Chains A and B, each alone.
Chain A
Amino acid sequence: MNANEFDVIIIGGGITGAGTQRDCAMRGLRTLLIERSDIATGATGRNHGLLHSGARYAVNDAESAEECIKENMILRKIASHCIDETDGLFITLPEDDLSYQQTFVDACLRAGIGAEIIDPDLARRLEPSVNPQLIGAVKVPDGSVDPFRLCAANMLDAKLHGGQVRLQTEVTGFIKEGNTIKGVHTHNHQTGEDVDYYAPVTVNACGIWGHKMAEMAGVHVGMFPAKGALLIFAHRVNNLVINRCRKPSNADILVPGDTVCIIGTTSTRIPFEECDNVAVTPEEVTLLITEGAKLAPSLSQTRILRAYAGVRPLVSADDDPTGRNISRGIVCLDHEERDGIKGFITITGGKLMTYRLMAEIAADAVCRKLAVDKKCQTADIPLPGSEESSYEAVAQKIWETPSTAQKAAAARMGTRAARIRTGDKRDEALICECEEVSVGEINAAIDRLEVSSLTDLRRRTRVGMGTCQGEFCACRAAGLLAKAHGCVARERKDLEDFLQERWKGNLPIGWGDTLREAEYTQWVYKHVLGL
């Protein structure tokens, strides 16, 4: 069989595509994942990183709520190294209607979500950063999830099951015979190569870009691009997720994640042309800060690290201008049944939380088409790194008396952290001091996780995500990448691109300490280092 022939081609390196590839690969299929840039560059990496309990949807969308809580429990088991089991609060403020609380709790319980009304005093003790004026609080099993790590772990496991991955590779067209899709034409942006790949089934898992991909295949999928803007703060202000106990609205979720916390979001319909380059507006920033401070007042005094936005891949159902009332439900379209196009499936809608279920549904559809009778195993078998649930136990097993940097590595990599113990003490040198990322961890990511640039490296290791936003670590890491790839000229360009990308997130929030840090970074790179 030809090296470019597979059982299934999956287009899209977000969490849905990576999850679908893992599922298919675990069922024994020969899989190929194609992604035009890097993993987790779309909505996967541009959200809160909230491990929804489902409570947010309980009142308005019982189906999504039930899916969420089930997947929530599964992810705690299979993706423990990507998850922080923080719990969450739904708070009622004096301006909110307290009677909504009971409606909310009833709906949660109906969906199977353990929601418990607690005394506001207890809420203030559990979460000292919460707005002390709260008049009601409900505790739910929310948490936080690192979507980059989750996506990388799925991709890695797919590879460990024989899957192949082509990043920086764009699908430029479909290979069609009559009404059957036989494969795809691709262009690799790095090597400039054009290659055709063949498979009896192709899965469109492109998120909001699935609309365009479907059009290229000759079918229409009506999508609704809804932009959501978010802000990252430089400290982990809260330890519990804080939500507002009212109908979902703007900027009413504050999620702690790693060393930071994230407030969001907004919801605005945007044209498809803007999906590739979404920018956060000053109005959105003001709204996020104002509403965020109602959840945790100290946010108004906390340095903002950056602003970013993602585009939800909602499937349009009505003409709701905000997209808030569209179901976040999963949509799997078999285009043979729907449009008479054979060998093509679209998996879309849904959300980060339900990616595994989406992948299962898509993989089931793939297997039906291929007449393969294999059961989904993704709910039971942990992702690589998540074989043990306590990162402290993992760190202890590897290093006996682990340093904080080693514990941080174990928290990021799970059991895979064993790879960074090379026996050379110099590999413990920190490249990124904000996030405590060592030479060893960076080299492990370069070796195993398909890193072609500093931005790719950031998604896999958190290099440059911390308070200095890459000021010091970017050029250090660039040195390691230049060595690994053997090309300094390319790395010079990469470093410039990385700094530009970091700068983009600073533009909407360029004042106070953010501007101070940005000034220092710009001065150092331009006048001191001479980049």
Chain B
Amino acid sequence: MKFDTVIIGGGLAGMVAGIGLQKAGQSTAIISTGQNALHFFSGTFESLQEPSPRIVDLFAQAGIRLHYQPGVRLMPMGTFREAALSLEDIDFFPSAKIGRKALIVNFLGYHDFFSSFLAEGLEKQGMQCRIRFINLPEMEQLQLSPSEMRSVQIARKMDRIWEKVVQEVRLLLKDEDTVVLPQVFGLKDASVPGRIRQGVPAQVVFAGTLPPSVPGIRTQMLLKKRYELLGGTFLMGDEALHAHVHDGVVHSIVTRNLDNHYLEARSFVLATGTFFSKGLRSNPFAIEEPVFGLDVDYATERGEWFNAAFAQDQPYMQYGVKTADGLHAVKDGQPLKNLLVAGSILGGTHPELGSGAGLAVRSALEVVDTILQ
């Protein structure tokens, strides 16, 4: 099978690159193992502040509205972080005092939404908080199972009965000016959070839950839909095993499912993420990039990979593949002419591109530009 570009990795970076290239008329394929960092996406593109029209448009065309205002956003444990470009589920506030009185609403038996931590965090900012639990008969089936009260299962229910939650919240609401709800709305339909806001006579804030992230999964589904509408080939559940490289040029890729076929292309994009998604692999002595055997930037002494304090920044999270001439991959000290790198597998090697989801989007767009040149 032959494509203009083959992209390894179906996370945020891979998908943005695929959409960008398809839009420019290329034929592309994305190889995706299935899970990726969007499953635990906070909803915010860290390190992206000023919304560039190119990024906002790309997402808007996929049905994903992004917004940004300077200020802070509320985190699931009741803390605040600096605002950055975000999905519309995320709210921004000029300061951490987001209101006078808050009603924090959880579902009875749901342990993945941290209502008491949220209350404590808001009270620290001088707010008064009341926590209430709602118990809808439609939820009973989930509650009776020991492991079904999880974000996605609840979100599937909510796609059908979110209006009942609005009614319950209206009944519970006294003189509060703020209502905090778990981010379990609009798995299929991105407009639901906005409609809930309209239905409740107070400012509604959605706070995150334990993964999987409902807005993240929605984002992934919409991006994939957009990519396929543009004619892209999404190879779901497949994995790149190794590559044929000669004279600094990648010729083809072998995957697990297409065992007798090579995926050939003029350009390749590596967007396989870090350790968790197996973009990087470690053993007691080394950190490797498993598909191409690329050069990786890391400390050779294992003791230096970690900070002994859990909460501190960890050196290993900054490790990534080496690049040259922009985002060209490097193998044995030589740049590969047609292999470009995007997303978190870059680690901290390109601080100017930011980190997290911000890095994923910016590096993917830069890769698109390089390939199209």
Give CA–CA (A510, B283) in the complex, Å.
Answer: 9
A429/B111 in contact, CB under 8 A: yes
Cβ < 8 Å to A, chain B residues 276-328:
276, 278, 281-284, 302-303, 305-306, 308-311, 314, 316-317
Q: Does A529 contact B (CB under 8 A)?
A: yes
Give CA–CA (A478, B113) in the complex, Å.
Answer: 11
Give CA–CA (A479, B182) in the complex, Å.
Answer: 15
Contact of B120 (CB < 8 Å), options: A475, A489, A503, A531: A489
Q: Does B86 contact A (CB under 8 A)?
A: no
* Minimum CB distance partner of B281 in chain A: A512
Give CA–CA (A81, B219) in the complex, Å.
Answer: 48
Chain A residues near B76 (CB-CB < 8 A): 528-530
Q: Does B71 contact A (CB under 8 A)?
A: no
B282/A512 in contact, CB under 8 A: yes
Contact of B42 (CB < 8 Å), options: A425, A499, A515, A528: A528
Q: Does B166 contact A (CB under 8 A)?
A: no
Interface string of A503-531 (1 = CB under 8 A from B): 11001001110011101101110111111
Q: Does B260 contact A (CB under 8 A)?
A: no
Q: Does B40 contact A (CB under 8 A)?
A: yes
Interface string of B201-226 (1 = CB under 8 A from A): 00000001011010000000000000
Known: A282-B303, A528-B42. A520 touches B208 (CB 8 A): no
Q: Does B77 contact A (CB under 8 A)?
A: yes
Known: A515-B316, A519-B317, A531-B79. A426 touches B108 (CB 8 A): yes
> For chain B, what secondary structure do more than half of its interface residues adopt (helix, strand, loop), or is it mixed?
loop
B275/A516 in contact, CB under 8 A: yes
B143/A425 in contact, CB under 8 A: yes
* Minimum CB distance partner of B79 in chain A: A530
A522/B117 in contact, CB under 8 A: no
Interface string of A264-277 (1 = CB under 8 A from B): 00000000000000
B316/A527 in contact, CB under 8 A: no
Chain A residues near B275 (CB-CB < 8 A): 515-516, 519
Contact of A483 (CB < 8 Å), options: B40, B80, B116, B208: B116
B208/A510 in contact, CB under 8 A: no
Q: Does B356 contact A (CB under 8 A)?
A: yes
A528/B146 in contact, CB under 8 A: no
Tally of contact residues, A, Cβ under 8 A:
50
Q: Does A492 contact B (CB under 8 A)?
A: yes
* Minimum CB distance partner of B46 in chain A: A527
Cβ < 8 Å to A, chain B residues 138-187:
143-144, 146-147, 149
A510/B302 in contact, CB under 8 A: yes
Q: Does B81 contact A (CB under 8 A)?
A: yes
Chain A residues near B77 (CB-CB < 8 A): 475, 492, 529-531
A431/B316 in contact, CB under 8 A: no
A516/B278 in contact, CB under 8 A: yes
Chain B residues near A285 (CB-CB < 8 A): 284
A430/B117 in contact, CB under 8 A: no
Q: Does B253 contact A (CB under 8 A)?
A: no
A430/B79 in contact, CB under 8 A: no
Chain A residues near B41 (CB-CB < 8 A): 528
Q: Does B22 contact A (CB under 8 A)?
A: no
Known: A522-B310, A526-B311, A528-B40. A476 touches B112 (CB 8 A): yes
Q: Does A61 contact B (CB under 8 A)?
A: no
* Minimum CB distance partner of A406 in chain B: B146
B317/A524 in contact, CB under 8 A: no
A528/B213 in contact, CB under 8 A: yes
Other A-B pairs beyond A482-B116, A528-B41, 12, CB < 8 Å: A285-B284, A426-B143, A488-B116, A510-B305, A519-B274, A519-B316, A522-B310, A524-B210, A527-B42, A528-B208, A529-B114, A530-B81
Residue contacts A-B, CB under 8 angstroms, 25 given: A282-B302, A405-B146, A425-B144, A433-B147, A475-B114, A476-B112, A482-B116, A500-B310, A500-B311, A503-B308, A504-B308, A510-B282, A510-B302, A512-B281, A519-B274, A522-B317, A523-B276, A523-B317, A524-B40, A527-B356, A528-B40, A529-B75, A529-B77, A530-B75, A530-B81
Name B's A-contacting residues (CB within 8 A). 40-42, 46, 75-81, 108-109, 111-112, 114-117, 119-120, 143-144, 146-147, 149, 208, 210-211, 213, 274-276, 278, 281-284, 302-303, 305-306, 308-311, 314, 316-317, 356
